[in-house]
Chains A and B, each alone.
Chain A
Amino acid sequence: MKRFSQLALPYIAWAVMMLLFPMALIALYSLTQQGNSIVSFTFTAEHYVKFFTDPDFLIVLWRSLLIAVKTTIICLLLGYPMAYFISRSSEKAQNYLVLAITIPMWINMLVRTYAWIGLLSEGGLIQRILSVFGLGGSELLYTEGAVLLGMVYNFLPFMVLQINTSLCKMDRSLLEAGADLGANPRQAFLRVTLPMSLPGVINGITLVFLPAVSSFFIPKLLGGGQYFLIGNLIENQFITVGEWNFGSAISMIMAVVMMLLMMAVRQVEQRNSGGKGE
């Protein structure tokens, strides 16, 4: 049996090269001066100082986090009832509904986001529908609302599927036991179903929040050039400004912020399941 372990050796080498080393490179770039060759470099913290001493950059980071939080909350509020509904349907209906939610995810994200440009633009379908209800006139495309819509649209399926998986895994007899012990449906939901689905909720939050913070094509396509999030700032540093060291520093900052947030979320989950489990 032991000899099977050698099967992992090539991959360990590959993973160090393709997954670990790139991160080290970003860290290296973020701490060195521009124009260094790989052989000789001067270390500096100037890029981090530049980011943290300039309120403009901090505001961009803050706004990116804020819109990601909004996206996550909306996805949770819409996604949980949807997942709950799916898990309560017949097995056949469940399969079809999950498939129906999965299919759009298979179709390229950019393509689907692009389609919203036509729907939201002036004289487009959405505006026409809104004007029937007397809400027409205001601009839809290139606003924060459009960016939020694009994000919810792209990331909601992740939330639904994750919560649904954990709801389906749940042992139904627990609910019956609860009912036998006198719990009304509301209590059963709050005391049994909700805690049991928490892992799915946490996974869903991760899968929505993470891409929402760093997305740069949704703001660019639906928010226009004047809508600038942290992902756009990084893209800009690498693609047009050419300050890779500063861009690397922003990437590191974003990676660390995300890691801390995710650890906090996991902490909540562990405390919760620890309290309920044993």
Chain B
Amino acid sequence: MKREKHSAGKLLMGLALVFFYLPIVYMVVFSFNDGKSLTNFTGFSLRWYQHMMESHTMMESLYTTFSVALIATAVSTVVGTISAIGLSKSRKLVQSLMEQVNNLPMMNPEIVTAIGLMLLFITFRIEKGYVTMLLSHIAFCIPYVMLSVMPKIRSLDPNLADAAMDLGATPWMALRKVIVPQIMPGIISGGLIAFTMSIDDFIISYFVTGGGVKNLSITVYTMSKRVNPSINAISTVVVLIITAVLVLINVAPKLAAKRQEKVELSRKRRVLPLAVCGAAVLAVIVIAGLRQGGSQLPYAGQTLHVYNWGEYTGENILREFEEKTGAKVVMENFDSNEQMYIKVANGEAYDILVPSDYMIQRLIQEGYLQELDHSRLDCMDKLSSAVLGLPYDPDNTYSIPYFWGTVGIVYDTTKVDPGDLEREGFGIFLDTKYRGDIYLYDSERDSFMMALKSLGYSMNTESEEELQEAFEWLVQCVQTMDAEIVTDEIIDNMAQGRKALGLIYSGDASYVMSENEDMGYYLPESGTNIWSDAMVIPANAKNPELAHEFINHVCSYEGAYDNSSFVGYTSANEEVMEELYGPGGEYEGISAYMPRSGNPNDEVFNYNEATRKIVANLWSKVKIAASNAE
């Protein structure tokens, strides 16, 4: 009986360990996968490690994660210990009040703490970035250290320090030689908790950072929409580092203990953590030093902050720009124009933004952009006339086009009847024949565009009834069609043919179609959104001169070719567009690459504050309806 119980326990424990380690092992294995798939192992290769090493974002996020964790741990351990000692000698009332305050970050949902800190930094106009992330980490780490140190102090004989001072020790000596050694185990475990909390943190970092500073969690979060095996590679590196540290922590004291027989006990114990901390700090400094390389180029040492859509740049364009100018490019990505707008409106400084038409109109209206210096630009004659002088910026005073295209339906020609598409247009998203087989795109503007066009209205309608009707159309869609609402996930999933239909941007469709020849792209006759995204320089840009250089670089043949051929969006550079679509081009004959012209129902978005608000609110409610429909 007893043994039986025991083996049941063993079985449970074994299964639990498999459960805990399976994803980790899986990740490590697939980091060596030759192919891009996350499900099929096709051969051994180190290409994703190379990819990782070449990626600025990844290497810097690794550095940020560890340097923030080490500094935050060191500071919070020291400050937490000293404050705990001080607090233990304070009045009872102060003690219990402070305990309540310290409980805040531990007992509050993390997102609440995160938002509080974000509001704090914004209220005091502190620029969000590395420093704010570090301060926040220190703020939530100290309470954990104090929580761990406090019980040890309480169990300390209160007369010890007095005795030491009676014997002639100064208070400082009493603290250092008597109190601290006694509470060392609490300090060490507090420090370890602080390190774990900091290195694992996502939510707080996500809300308080800015200026392109990301830790590993944020990088993974923003990259996770596309299949990207270099995430596995960087994760494997983290697994290795963490395992090494843990083994060191667990084995080193045992080794030390074996040798301790001859040496004085307390001394040795104190040296080890100090040595570990010292080595770590040194490593951080060395890495920081290595990152600063000298150079003779015109913009050496300067930084360009770009805020662009995710998956919107070519493979080499940023590196080439860096090599040419000597400047460093820090790129942040957004998923939607609205997300970008909020950051800009809150005063975050970027040198280049790449918003869409209607958003550029809004940014101009609200005074967030600066006029371009056309004498610095050498690109106007290279650009296609179809994207110049559009209504949102008639003289291109503020903006230079980047990509353009349409919004349409990507469909699997083996599953979807073309007759259905032609008959129903966007209405196919309400056709229950395709229930459970569709993707919607998480963009409020384009989802409403789809609904409005399907209902035969203008996508720029200001009529509340028409918007309400479109809202009901969308609710019907999510309630009856079991739709998945995605963003960039649609690209890899459609390339693998996982669903029959999806609402998609033309450029993503080009990529999908070039990967999978069963895929088609359809533009309903009822009209669609002819959009364009353009580069603008915000009024608060720190380096407008370099920003102009960047615009020139993006519009040049090489830059535009790299961008467009890699991501599949239609280039604003006429030569590149013709070449890629023409014979022998990367997107030869792929209809999605060449935007439609001549359909009278096609429109360009206008900006209207009142409709924007209505649409934003209604779209949140569509998403809620979608999750309630499950």
Contact = CB atoms under 8 A, between A and B. Distances in A.
Interface of A: 1-12, 14-23, 25-26, 29, 38, 56-57, 59-60, 63, 78, 81-82, 84-86, 88, 97, 99-112, 114-119, 121-125, 142-144, 153, 156-157, 206, 210-211, 213-214, 216-217, 221, 224-229, 231, 233-236, 238-242, 244, 247-248, 251-252, 254-255, 258-259, 262
B481 to A, nearest CB: 11
B235 A5 contact: no
B332 to A, nearest CB: 13
A257 B111 CA distance: 14
Given A63-B627, A109-B217, A217-B221, A9 B89 contact: no
B109 A100 contact: no
20 contacts: A1-B161, A1-B162, A5-B89, A8-B83, A14-B79, A15-B101, A19-B139, A56-B624, A78-B12, A111-B216, A112-B24, A115-B27, A118-B30, A119-B22, A124-B38, A216-B111, A231-B109, A234-B115, A238-B118, A238-B342
A144 B105 CA distance: 28
A82 B13 contact: yes
B282 interface: no
Contacts of B135: 18
Nearest to A93: B13
B86 interface: yes
Residue of A23, A247, A259 with most chain B CB atoms under a 10 A cut-off: A23
B251 to A, nearest CB: 11
B246 A19 contact: no
Top 4 closest A-B pairs, CB basis?
A22-B116, A7-B86, A8-B86, A214-B109
Most buried by B among A109, A239, A240: A240
Interface in B73-118: 79, 82-83, 85-91, 94, 98, 101-102, 104-105, 107-113, 115-118
B243 interface: yes
A229 B444 CA distance: 18
Contacts of A224: 484-486, 489
A101 B238 contact: no
SS class, residues of chain A in contact with chain B: helix
Nearest to B171: A3
Contacts of B620: 233, 236, 241
Interface in B612-630: 616-617, 620-621, 623-628, 630
A111 B30 contact: no
A16 B342 CA distance: 28
A3 to B, nearest CB: 6
A57 B624 contact: yes
A214 B110 contact: yes
B477 to A, nearest CB: 11
B202 interface: yes
Contacts of A252: 112
Given A22-B117, A119-B26, A123-B40, 14 more contacts: A1-B161, A5-B90, A8-B98, A11-B87, A16-B101, A23-B116, A78-B12, A84-B9, A104-B20, A109-B200, A110-B221, A115-B23, A118-B26, A240-B335
Contact of B23 (A112, A206, A240, A251): A112
A28 to B, nearest CB: 9
Contacts of A107: 24, 235, 238-239, 242
B158 interface: yes
B224 interface: yes
A214 B216 contact: no
Main secondary structure of the interface of B (DSSP, over half): helix
B9 A239 contact: no
A19 B119 CA distance: 12
Contacts of B486: 224-225
Given A108-B216, A110-B216, A258-B108, A100 B17 contact: yes
Contacts of A106: 196, 199-200, 242, 246
Interface in B152-187: 158, 161-162, 171, 175
A85 B87 contact: no
A229 B626 CA distance: 12
A4 B85 contact: yes
Contact of B630 (A112, A144, A153, A248): A144
A163 to B, nearest CB: 13
Contacts of B375: none
Contacts of B442: 225
A109 B199 CA distance: 10
A81 B9 contact: yes
Contacts of B200: 105-106, 108-109
Nearest to B138: A18
Contacts of A213: 109
A59 B624 contact: yes
A225 B443 CA distance: 11
Nearest to A234: B111
Contact of A225 (B109, B115, B487): B487
Contacts of B10: 85
Contacts of B113: 22
Contacts of B83: 7-8, 10-11
B39 interface: yes
B338 A242 contact: yes
Given A23-B116, A25-B119, A108-B199, A211 B142 contact: no
Contacts of B336: 240
A104 B21 contact: yes
Contacts of A78: 12, 16
B194 interface: no
Contacts of B123: 25, 38
Contacts of B104: 19-20, 23
Nearest to A216: B111
A225 B617 contact: no
B220 A114 contact: yes
Interface string B22-60: 111011001000000011100000000000000000000
Contacts of A60: 624, 627
Contacts of A217: 202-203, 221
B79 A11 contact: yes
B374 interface: no
Nearest to B219: A110
Given A108-B235, A115-B24, A115-B26, A18 B120 contact: yes
A226 B171 contact: no
A116 B39 CA distance: 11
Nearest to B497: A122
B630 A56 contact: no
B485 A21 contact: no
Contacts of B65: 108
Contacts of B161: 1, 4
Contacts of A119: 22-23, 26
A97 B17 CA distance: 9
Residue with the greatest number of chain A CB neighbours at <10 A, chosen from B115, B118, B242, B246: B115
A212 B628 CA distance: 19
Contacts of B171: 3-4
Nearest to B484: A224
B296 interface: no
B626 A2 contact: no
Interface in B491-535: 496, 498
B207 interface: yes
A84 B8 CA distance: 12
B341 interface: yes
A4 B86 contact: yes
Most chain A CB inside 10 Å of its own CB: which residue of B27, B30, B625: B27
Contacts of A111: 27, 216-217, 220, 231, 235, 238
